[in-house]
Chain A
């Protein structure tokens, strides 16, 4: 973390002076680009390139006026938040929650107190931000990110949605467009031409989604500024999308997503745009990626995330993900084990051999869960190697004497099943 502080303050001064000369986007309050908030020219360059609507950021601790639609959204989320906090799929692990909250504060700075993060056990590459500062982070995202910089890019993106008040903007847009739609539909019904109504519906949905894509572009750019401000290497924001693309391309016959109906810009476009934006950040390579800290923070829970990933039963993209994780090189034994689990549970032609080979690799790497021996035993049994299976089961019971399936395994050993 090396900020050239001296030059920085000079540059900040420069930023303030030039502020008057720039156009529309500078006239509204945008916290990431306020004086003193930025570490320097790095963010100044970004500001010029980020698309933006002329709407002011919320101030720290600010709540919208009670009469507004925006306040309605807040109210609804305030209520929903109790439900989220006690929801069945929330990850309660205090260490992971502390870690993520700390990064949120690093990114959000003076807005730190405005956000609550809820980590949800969902095996999806996703996160979302509610208008009242409730942030949902899916464990599928934590499994896919390689380092702290990538996590920061996501958090920056979501915080940008909040600061730029995208929910509220979109609500206004949706109300306006659905109102118009109801009347077009009724009018065309009156004229006896139902098809016109259908077309209007499609056009309305399309127009709402394109509004959403613009929001996403703004949040990507703004989020990048926030992560740079917190000292993270912006190239990692683009790298996330390269990983997403790799997983997507692994799915055979993946129907091209309909760009018109998509709420987010295509991954390729986001990858390229973020790449271009990061190239304008000076000395970006001096900034941090934080890979070791990140991997240490998720290590204890990662196996569970992989288990949930398997439940999706999207085998080709999951295999591509496991390949990427193996390349990253953190706890490879565990990854080989879950790869074996994928084959064992899929149980297609030839999967028994593939599973056995994956378990062998896991054993060679070491650092594997006791559960491996049980899975290995079940697969050996399926392969007709009963003696080897019994040995694996015995090892399992030695390593996990209090396992929930101890009685069943014991029974299988004794009966030579």
Chain B
């Protein structure tokens, strides 16, 4: 069964990745009053980390987290006087949107791994300028928006047994991974496709299952978001 394999892979990979990534925050100020922001499909998945170290995805938590997190993001954006729109999700997305999301994954990833502050920073990328290119205009026309906010979150929680295992392992000097929260958000100017603002988090706490926790995570992820 490949899904369980993939989950294990995700857990292993999460460990690897945290070594390569650093938080990144671009300077950005709203240029004018055109602040219509379309919220791209929030890519959230919550899992329960079992004692054996397997991440088991949890549908109920994810459904709650999506609701809470979306509301928190919308509230947070509302504080900036932005007008929030919601994009289509899943298979209802127009093909160009799917292409842009795929490109954003690679751009966001390049930003984390090769951007300033990373151990692997490219000498040609010190200016912090990243872009999705002019086809981002599609979203401007399709959603009547000026900006798009892309959000990606992965969250796992240690189950009771896992916490016990971590404690026991600690006694013998063995480090086991507890729950991890990783995510990033990018604000893209739909006139140019440029990533005008970006932030990421990788941490061992964070709670998306409750309203307060989701709010805290949304705030953390949008730290430095232009007010």
Report A's interface with B, CB cutoff 8 A: 66-69, 71-82, 85-86, 128, 130-131, 166-167, 170-171, 174-175, 177-183, 186, 189-190, 212
Partner of A82, one of B53, B90, B172: B90
Question: Chain B residues near A131 (CB, 8 Å)?
Answer: 3
Name B residues whose Cβ lies closer than 8 Å to a Cβ of A: 1-4, 7, 43, 45, 47-48, 50-54, 56-60, 62-63, 90-91, 93, 95, 98, 102, 161, 165, 168-169, 171-172, 174
The answer to whether B60 and A66 touch across the interface, beta carbons within 8 angstroms, is yes
CB neighbours of B7 from chain A (8 A): 76
What residues of chain A lie closer than 8 Å to B45, measured between beta carbons?
A: 75-76, 79
Decide: A167 and B56 in contact? CB cutoff 8 A. Answer: no
**Other 10 A-B pairs with CB < 8 A, given A171-B4, A171-B56, A178-B51:** A72-B58, A73-B3, A82-B90, A131-B3, A171-B1, A178-B54, A179-B50, A179-B51, A182-B53, A186-B172
SS of A interface (majority)? helix
Verify A72–B57 contact, CB threshold 8 A.
yes
Write 13 A-B pairs (CB below 8 A) sorted by A numbering.
Answer: A69-B58, A71-B60, A76-B57, A80-B3, A82-B90, A82-B91, A174-B4, A177-B52, A178-B52, A180-B52, A183-B51, A186-B165, A190-B171
Contacts of B56 in A (CB 8 A): 69, 72, 171, 175
Nearest CB of chain B from residue A75's CB, rounded to whole Å: 4
Is A178 a contact partner of B3 (Cβ separation < 8 A)? Answer: no
CB <8 Å contact, A75 and B62: yes
Answer whether A182 and B58 are a contact pair too, CB < 8 Å, given A66-B63, A76-B3: no
Question: Whole-angstrom distance between the alpha carbons of A347 and B58 in the complex?
Answer: 52
* Bound-state Cα–Cα, A183 to B89, Å: 41
CB distance from B153 to the nearest CB of A (A): 12
A71 engages B1 (CB within 8 Å):
no
Choose one: A74, A80, A175, A189; the contact of B52 (CB below 8 Å). A175
> Closest residue of chain B to A72, judged by CB?
B57
> Bound state CA distance, A75 and B165, in angstroms?
27
Residue numbers in A under 8 Å from B1 (CB-CB): 128, 166-167, 170-171, 212
